[in-house]
Amino acid sequence: MTWRAEIITTWTGTGAEDDANRPALGDDYALKKFEDVTGQPSANLQPDPNLYVVRVECEEAVLDAIEADADYLVLWSEEIAEEMP
C-alpha cells in the first residue's frame, strides 16, 4: 500500500542544470513522488537552517525507515489508495 506524508527535510544541489535543487530525502530514500509544499520559491528558502516541507508518496517500509531516521521529521502520514494527481 502507498502512504502519503509531509516531512521536514534539508535540500541539496547547487541549482545548476546537472545538479538541481532537490530534497535530500529523495536522495536517501526511494520515493514514488514528492512535491514542495512550503509555498515559496526555492530562492527564498534560507540556507540556514536549510529546512523545508515536502509531501511524498512512498511504500510503507520506506516511510517506516524515514520515521526512524533522525535526519527527518514526519509531520503527518496517511495510507492512500490512489496517487497524487
Ranges of each domain in the chain: 2-80
- For residues 75, 80, 31, 37, the Cα torsion angle rounded to the nearest 10 degrees is -50
DSSP state of 64: H
pTM of the model: 0.83
Q: Is the pLDDT of residue 83 over 60?
A: no
pLDDT at 68 over 70: yes
Q: So what's the architecture of 2-80 in CATH? A: 2-Layer Sandwich (3.30)
pLDDT of residue 76: 97
Q: What percent of the chain has pLDDT over 90?
A: 58
- Report pLDDT for 5: 97
Distance CA 20, CA 49 (A): 19
